[in-house]
Homo-oligomer: A and B are copies of this chain.
Amino acid sequence: MSELRQDIATKRWVIVSKERAKRPHQFLKQAVVQEEPDHRDDCPFCEGNETQTPPEVYALRDGSDPNRPGWKVRVVPNKFAALSPSAKWEVSHPEVFTTINGYGSHEVIIETPLHNQTLATLPQEQVELVLQAVLQRMRTLAQDERIAFVQVFRNHGAAAGTSLVHPHSQLIATPIVPTNIREEIEGARRFYDDRVTCVYCYMLAKELEVGERVVLSTDHYVVLAPFASRFPFELMILPRQHSASFVAEAKREEVTFLADVLRRTLLLLYRAANNPDYNAVLHTAPLRDSCMDYYHWHIEIVPRLTTPAGFELGSGIYITTAIPEETAAYLREQAQQLGI
């Protein structure tokens, strides 16, 4: 029998279609042999090709000059930026058609000089450097009062909307708080008003009690197959300790712990789920719209193994044929076998 499940924070529904359910491995594509070299002359993100990108806004270097080889992580404006800091911040709200000029930033975090790696296959120290660069850029952008939110995301593979193979993440700093984020925070606020507790803390405690949807668990983070997963192999990385804002509160050592759990989670997907195309998205508090008590930052990882259709677009209800408890059990077992 099918079951409708509701996400406790967003109130979003999914239909878990049990008759049509497939075992976790049935969602997987065939393993793909990595055929890319570690350097390409025509890749704008490879070392030595620094002039093929706009000038860098940040880089981790051991003394080498900007926009030259010798970097570990490099942040550049997106060549086809959706938003730009050179636009004028200007709102127009005639009676109907509200617009804002495209003020903001759209940056690419080039995660390594190596063309044929991905975050999952990089050493722990390199993932730490990537997160440090992300955090640094978020803090710098947060100083601009015209920026309301910074959305950090990673598109991996063609089905996830990327065309460039070279490992990279992106961030877009927007002059507005995105509607999805507002709704998530609003759901958390209502829960807090009812129960005087953070909905994510509450849910996490229950998930640890039940255990069946826990995929990985460290001293600082828990990785879950969410109760109301929309997609097969959907995962959520949650800090154990209550914290609304990644950018405001992350300490240097937290970056180390996060790099560890993020790398292991992505490596698990890479190895146990045949390197699926995926989107990873950081959900964190807006920069100037405090929700300290009731919001809880987290990372959502959404493999793109299925295609949302008209029903999902219209209703916002997802039909899934993957059962999160089975996915979690499969991944736990694989993590043990693979020593991840």
Contact = CB atoms under 8 A, between A and B. Distances in A.
A161 B80 contact: no
Interface stretch (A38-46, A128-136, A274-282): A274-282
Contacts of A84: 1-2
A316 interface: yes
Interface residues of A, number: 72
B315 A151 contact: yes
A1 B102 contact: yes
Nearest to A179: B316
Interface string A308-322: 111101111101000
Contact of A97 (B5, B181, B280, B282): B5
Given A280-B310, A307-B161, A309-B153, A82 B17 contact: yes
A114 interface: no
A223 to B, nearest CB: 18
Contact of A15 (B3, B96, B102): B102
B179 A13 contact: yes
B13 A176 contact: yes
B98 A5 contact: yes
A290 interface: no
Interface stretch (A65-73, A167-175, A239-247, A256-264): A167-175
A99 to B, nearest CB: 5
B1 A314 contact: no
A233 to B, nearest CB: 15
B83 A15 contact: yes
A28 interface: no
Contacts of A10: 179
Nearest to A84: B2
A283 B170 contact: no
A166 interface: no
B5 A99 contact: yes
A305 interface: no
A309 B279 contact: yes
B308 A178 contact: no
Contacts of A20: 80, 82
Nearest to A158: B307
Interface string A193-217: 0000000001100100000000000
Interface string A207-242: 000000000000000000001000000000000000
A50 interface: no
Contacts of A309: 153, 155, 160-162, 279
B179 A100 contact: no
Nearest to A231: B313
Contacts of A334: none
7 A-B pairs with the lowest CB-CB distances in the bound complex, closest first: A2-B102, A161-B309, A153-B310, A180-B316, A281-B314, A178-B315, A279-B310
Given A15-B83, A18-B102, A180-B316, 11 more contacts: A4-B102, A6-B99, A8-B97, A12-B179, A158-B307, A160-B307, A161-B308, A161-B309, A178-B315, A279-B310, A281-B314
